Chain A
């Protein structure tokens, strides 16, 4: 065992020899850990995609074989399906860490990595692990809705830009409900009204790409602005809730 504070390299070559930096290295480690947990069994990376598939696949049966109507409502249905699938895994965002005691240590790390930054990292990992697959699956599901290639492309692009906003708002909801044993429903109720602007601008930008008089760029830029705005507001409020929610 080392007696000094120097970092001792272990003989195993897999270990890094240089001491990790105080800033980005730790946050990157958190990102990689959460991605890894998401992919491994029980992470639930596929749950959202399966649910998304189930929602979109049932719509044509409900609406009927009116191809024009399906193509017209396609972007909206894709967006609603993605929104609901996003909410599905949010309750585990902090709860899993709370149950095994990791959350305490993440909160204690506040002086090294600002808690809001830690939360932002967890959000990004959650988005990359659980929500990005939805965005990738969206073009395929767009075919179910008889959408044109341009509409499919536009919807996938707006989903790519808009869904992080849902995760950031969801993080605030998840932080508030972290101590509740069945907080999933509460998170959905808390978060859903706040995601309405994201949904509205996401869908209107998707329509703007195909319907001629409607603009694409303006709602798309507002969507991007919403995501950037919530990338700050969501993690900061989630960090506040987590700090005061420890017991």
Chain B
């Protein structure tokens, strides 16, 4: 399976956020998208997933076979939000997504074990801390199989140990022939990943902020 983007451009509210992005991913490869705030990392991921229209160029999947005819059907999208219901327990949430997404991969309990939440599956999702919520959302990637993971700031809120565990998970996914595109500005611990640097920030951001960021003044 291959994911190919050619001369890809995206826009938000009529303004071009990025353009001329091109890459090709094969089975087992990972792509880390970096760049300052406002450079269009999240927009790029949403354009790839098909949640935003492609402004120019194209992005497509090849050799996906019958099971994965389109990018939307082949991908897990982990956005800023965790897509979990606070009123339901963690296990109920995961069980729902496994049943809804189909292609069951590993059991719900095993997935929770893998992300280190084995003992709190019975708690309502709303009781969890930010980091635990993120880990539960990561467990969602494991309960159904998708070859392509689109991850938007996946480690936001995770502690060091969880980051390490997540890096191991991503490496395992790539070794099993999966593909990953992750937007981040924290190092993810993916050794063999290619890096895509998004260009200058959109005009929404002033020059002074860019300077401050470069100097480490922000974040």
- Give A contacts to B, CB under 8 Å: 1-3, 5, 7-12, 15, 19-22, 25-30, 32-33, 36-37, 40-43, 99-102, 104-113, 246-247
Knowing A3-B176, A10-B110, A26-B100 are in contact, say whether A102-B85 is a contact too (CB < 8 A). Answer: yes
User: Could you list some 10 contacts between A and B, CB below 8 A?
Assistant: A5-B103, A10-B106, A10-B110, A19-B102, A19-B103, A26-B99, A29-B100, A33-B92, A107-B51, A111-B70
State A11–B107 Cα separation when bound (angstroms): 9
Task: Enumerate chain B interface residues (CB-CB to A < 8 A).
Answer: 12, 46, 49-52, 69-70, 72-73, 75, 77, 79-88, 92, 95-110, 114, 142, 145, 172, 176
Instruction: Give the shortest distance, in Å, between A16 (CB) and chain B (any CB).
Output: 8
Nearest residue, chain A, Cβ from B73 = A111
Partner of A30, one of B70, B72, B82, B100: B100
Q: How many CB-defined contacts (below 8 Å) exist between A and B?
A: 123
A101:B83 contact, CB within 8 angstroms: yes
A29 engages B96 (CB within 8 Å):
yes
**A14 to B170, alpha carbons, bound, how many Å?**
29
In the bound complex, how far is the Cα of B99 from the Cα of A33, in angstroms? 11
Name the A residues within 8 Å of B92 (CB-CB): 33, 36
State A43–B88 Cα separation when bound (angstroms).
11
B195 to chain A, nearest CB (A): 26
- CB-CB under 8 A from A99, the residues of chain B are 81
Given contacts A5-B103, A20-B98, contact A105 B84 (CB under 8 A): no
Nearest 3 Cβ contacts at the A-B interface: A10-B107, A101-B81, A29-B99
B83 touching A43, Cβ below 8 Å: no
Specify the chain B residue showing the minimal Cβ separation from A10.
B107
B142 and A108: CB pair below 8 A?
Answer: no
With A and B bound together, what is the CA distance between A109 and B102 in angstroms?
A: 10
The answer to whether B88 touches A9 (Cβ under 8 A) is no
Cα of A28 to Cα of B95 in the assembled complex, Å: 12
Q: A104 to B108, Cβ gap below 8 A?
A: no
Contacts of B49 in A (CB 8 A): 104, 108
Q: Known contacts A10-B109, A29-B100, A30-B100; is A1 also within 8 Å of B69 by CB?
A: no
Select A12's contact among B70, B80, B109, B172, beta carbons within 8 Å: B109
- A37 adjacent to B88 (CB under 8 Å): yes
